[in-house]
């Protein structure tokens, strides 16, 4: 029997979507696509060009003109993001982008422009796609949908560790405050609010290693194949 060709993973910031999604995609031999990268690219581009993201029309126009490309680093296996041909991975999780990305992601024009690109990739199949609205908006017909949960405190701890590993200055209290703010913005926005799809499988990732979460996901995939 053929394994599900589209798998959606949603959840709030730092819930483990990227780490788990990469592991699951590797295990299945699927493409891994983190859609949040696109919103971070749009935020970074707006900050570089405008210095702020308050002008929705201007940010939307800049998003539509972006030249985005993704590639896999053959040595590390990591997905690298290029904006107008320049590698910008190191800038995508800066404190400035972290603070503004939820604002940019709430703009309807930005979401429309990026959702169209995301859906085209998803329709190619054999993809694990992660984000905030994959199961509800981008790929509502995905064969399997997961929604990851984790406490704000655990997510702040994870993000702080990630930043420290990347050499980014990190303050736990500030990160926790920012995560709570982003949760509020993401869950209350009018366009594609953060919420589980009705048929999503909820997985609490607190106190679970990424490998354990992937094993839990894989058990659901196996059940789907034998149902």
DSSP string, 186-225: HHH-SSS-S---TTPEEEE-TT--HHHHHHHHHHHHHHHH
Classify residue 214 as exposed, middle or buried by CB count within 10 Å of its CB (0-12, 13-18, 19+).
Answer: buried
- Residue 100: per-residue pLDDT: 94
Q: Indicate whether 57 belongs to any domain.
A: yes
Domain of 220: which CATH number?
3.40.50.300
- Residue 225: per-residue pLDDT: 72
With vertex at residue 31, the alpha carbon angle to CA 28 and CA 34, rounded to the nearest 5 degrees, is 115
Judged by DSSP in three states, 152 sits in helix
- Residue 134: per-residue pLDDT: 95
Q: Indicate whether 118 belongs to any domain.
A: yes
Q: Indicate whether 38 belongs to any domain.
A: yes
Domain that holds residue 203: 6-226
Strand partners, 8: 129, 145
Q: Give this prediction's pTM.
A: 0.82
Q: Indicate whether 155 belongs to any domain.
A: yes
pLDDT block averages, 10 residues each, the chain of length 227: 78 92 92 90 97 97 91 78 92 90 92 90 90 94 95 94 83 93 89 93 95 96 78
- Residue 227: per-residue pLDDT: 62
Q: How many domains is the chain partitioned into structurally?
A: 1
Cα atoms found within 13 Å of the Cα of residue 128, Cβ hemisphere only: 24
- Residue 163: per-residue pLDDT: 84
Interatomic CA distance for residues 44 and 50, integer angstroms: 10
Q: Indicate whether 1 belongs to any domain.
A: no
Report in angstroms the alpha-carbon separations of 112 from 63, 106, 137, 191: 10, 10, 11, 10
Strand partners, 203: 148
Instruction: Put the strands of the sheet holding 6-10 in their side by side order.
Output: 31-34, 127-131, 6-10, 144-149, 201-204
- Asked if 148 and 9 count as a contact pair (C-beta separation under 8 A), the reply is yes
Interatomic CA distance for residues 166 and 163, integer angstroms: 5
């Amino acid at each position: 029997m053929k394994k599900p060709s589209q798998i959606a993973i949603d959840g709030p910031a730092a819930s483990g979507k990227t780490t788990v999604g990469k592991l699951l995609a590797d295990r299945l031999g699927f493409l891994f696509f983190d859609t949040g990268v696109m919103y971070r690219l749009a935020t970074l581009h707006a900050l570089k060009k405008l210095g702020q993201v308050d002008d929705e029309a201007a940010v939307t126009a800049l998003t539509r003109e972006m030249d985005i490309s993704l590639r896999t680093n053959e040595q590390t296996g990591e997905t690298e993001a290029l904006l107008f041909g320049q590698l910008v991975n190191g800038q995508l999780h800066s404190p400035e982008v972290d603070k503004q990305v939820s604002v940019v992601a709430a703009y309807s024009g930005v979401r429309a422009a990026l959702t169209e690109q995301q859906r085209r990739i998803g329709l190619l199949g054999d993809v694990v796609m992660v984000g905030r609205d994959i199961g509800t908006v981008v790929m509502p017909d995905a064969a399997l949908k997961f929604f990851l949960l984790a406490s704000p405190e655990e997510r702040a701890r994870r993000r702080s560790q990630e930043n420290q590993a990347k050499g980014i200055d990190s303050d736990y209290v500030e990160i926790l405050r920012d995560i709570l703010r982003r949760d509020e913005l993401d869950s209350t926005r009018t366009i594609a609010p953060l919420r589980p799809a009705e048929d999503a499988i909820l997985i609490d990732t607190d106190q679970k290693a990424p490998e354990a979460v992937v094993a839990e996901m894989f058990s659901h995939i196996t059940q789907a194949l034998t149902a």
